Structure 1
């Protein structure tokens, strides 16, 4: 029978352990002035009663929140899941809890989530925004440290951690051009996403005379019908470069349906490397983003801001690694994968 829907109180723990409420508080907060015998009694009472600390009350008393908020575009994306996992571990090491919500790549939902997460009164916030218009969706009067990661806002007033998208995309484009591809079809979800736009600009900069065509495919799980028509045509492009993982997966499926073999019938490369790209045959040439390093850098900046560090917004751009594999076979070069770093500046 449940006697108290709110759970046992600290006073009940104190009565059970035959100590004062202040002693229970000292034990639970790790104070070293309490004898081992009393510590053991308090922990035994906590275990027997199933007592759970009310961290909200502790935050109110101290005036300090140990909660950090994180908003990501899509929790099903392996890259964002890796970012969340790394950040959660770092926050726990610094004795912070992390609350994570997804905007589902919807600007309206992102605005709603920003308003809701503010009600938790976190010590700080990290946002991987839907697109560059983050500033238009921030709640009025938002007063907490905020770090933007991955996608670049249109207004440069936030601390930012991102990768050097253009340099990595240019490296891929130069490599494709060097294979003798006269025309490359570049595909991405939307140029409204700053990362995709930067990658397109980088591809154009590294094309070395190769003709580039761009198709924005949106966020559907399947490649658009127009792409199938282009790939079935006698004058299909010699190469495809996908600017994000979602597009890469959809196009790879389509190539299989049509019967085109990457590396043999068509040169094929991706910006976002995922594990499956290393496991298929031939393996996919891809850009690997330093996701864990991005999370570490975002957390480092946020912790400094939470601690009271002022100053101009900080911008960190990290280098990516490009791994050349069988889907873009090198001409007159040894077989096997080769990797190079691209760009990046602190």
Structure 2
């Protein structure tokens, strides 16, 4: 017969409930007690039966997270932040990449419901509330990450992207630039529309300034390069004198196109700023100015909010961080 939780509790001189907390919520147990229980587990060769535990509890030890692009270093860092906080609770994180596609997102939401995850963290591909509400109605808390939707019925952690867009455009305007272009991703993505709103507000405050919007199908380097090539192909007088890209990947693509063009210099002819301040923004051919978001903290805080929801704890259900302007060579002068 196998070793049971009761055997571990007896060997460690603690209650069965304490052993359960060590296995599932170690942060709630004194470190010395955790060490004693883990030593008893090692000594006895105890192996937990997760399948049986999940059936009894109706939950797994997992948290689901769906991001727009797992290949984007910004979202990779968000996931790392979530993993850090989840590990403190003895939980693991299951990652889904929606690729900015609502159908793929739905598939992951269905999978996470089947897996009986403790909660779903999500950066939605659209503002379609009913899809998320179905998950929440199934008894699985939904935490919005880097996003806010609807009437506040979903717990959220986000960055003030309207302010971020304002910071980016104001910075370009402060450099004397007046013909701005916003290289955007799909307008259905809230972050894109909010950053555009902020940029428009800044441009509206400066006489003679104008803002052109250039939509792209996705927030990737390839789509940024295509947009940059189209701008570089214009007559010099028809080009903007500054570009604000909706994220750093787009900005890197735009920079690649401008660098390859024989008669476009950055920042001499066109100043360029991105958004997110991913790690390699500082090491591009021309170091890239950007608007910094606390990516790791977003993921960490999302799991922290989930834990409070699961514990029915009181407190703020909506956390909003402020972005920070990081000026580098691409907007110098």
With the shorter chain as reference, the TM-score category is 0.7 to 0.9
Q: 1:305 to 1:40 in 2, by over 3 A?
A: closer
Question: Match of 2:83, SS?
Answer: helix
CA contact (8 A) 1:133 1:154 kept: no
Q: How far has the Cα of 1:56 moved from its partner?
A: 2.5
Retained in 1: the 8 A contact 2:252–2:284?
no
State how far apart, in whole Å, the 2-side matches of 1:200 and 1:293 are. 24
What does 1:203-218 align with in structure 2 at a 5 Å threshold? Answer: 203-207=199-203, 208-209=206-207, 210-218=209-217
Structure possessing the higher relative contact order (Cα contacts under 8 Å, 6 or more residues apart): 2
User: Which residue of the other structure, out of 276, 301, 326, is the alignment partner of 1:272?
Assistant: 276
Contact 1:131 1:152 in 2 (8 A): no
Matches within 5 A, 1:193-212: 193-207=189-203, 208-209=206-207, 210-212=209-211
Partner Cα separation in structure 2 for residue 285 and residue 55 of structure 1 = 48
Structure 2 unmatched ranges of 5 or more? 17-37
Name the CA shift for 1:41/1:196 in 2 (closer, same or farther; >3 Å): closer
**Deviations 1:291-323, CA, capped at 9 Å, x for gaps:** 122223222221111012378x83221111101
* Larger Cα-atom Rg: 1
What's the counterpart of residue 99 of structure 1? 94
Query: What secondary structure sits across from 1:80 in the alignment?
Result: helix
Q: For residue 236 of structure 2, what is the aligned residue in structure 1?
A: 234
Q: CA deviation at 1:197?
A: 0.3
Q: In the alignment, which residue of structure 2 is the partner of 1:156?
A: 152
Cα 1:132/1:42, change in 2 over 3 Å:
closer
Alignment of 1:19-168 (within 5 A): 21=4, 24-26=7-9, 32=14, 43=42, 46=45, 52-62=47-57, 65-136=60-131, 138-139=133-134, 141-168=137-164
Contact 2:274 2:288 in 1 (8 A): yes
Q: How far apart are the structure 2 equivalents of 1:182 and 1:64?
A: 55
Normalised by the length of structure 1, the TM-score is 0.78
Paired residue total: 305
Q: Does 1:329 align with 2:318?
A: no
Q: Matches of 1:184 and 1:22 in 2, distance apart?
A: 65
CA deviations on 1:49-85 (whole Å, 9 max, x unpaired) are: xx74222212334566433221222211111111111
Q: Secondary structure at the match of 2:124?
A: coil
SS in 2 for 1:203: helix
Give the structure with the higher percent helix: 2
Alignment of 1:303-314 (within 5 A): 303-309=307-313, 314=317
Q: Distance in 1 between matches of 2:40 and 2:300?
A: 40
CA contact (8 A) 2:142 2:155 kept: yes
Is the partner of 2:273 in helix, strand or coil? strand
Normalised to the residue count of structure 2, the TM-score between the two structures is: 0.81
CA pair 94-184 structure 1, distance change in 2 beyond 3 A: same
Can you list the C-alpha shifts for 1:20-50, whole angstroms capped at 9, x where unaligned?
x46545379x65489xxxx97973663xxxx
The question of 1:253 aligning with 2:252 is answered no
Q: Distance in 2 between matches of 1:301 and 1:41?
A: 32
Q: How far 1:189 sits from its partner (Å)?
A: 0.9
Matches within 5 A, 1:277-288: 277-288=281-292
Equivalent-residue separation in structure 1 for 2:106 and 2:294 (angstroms): 27
Q: Per-residue deviation at 1:224?
A: 6.8
Matched position secondary structure for 1:206? helix
CA deviation string 1:95-152 (max 9, x = no partner): 2222222222210111121111011112222111112224335537422221111133
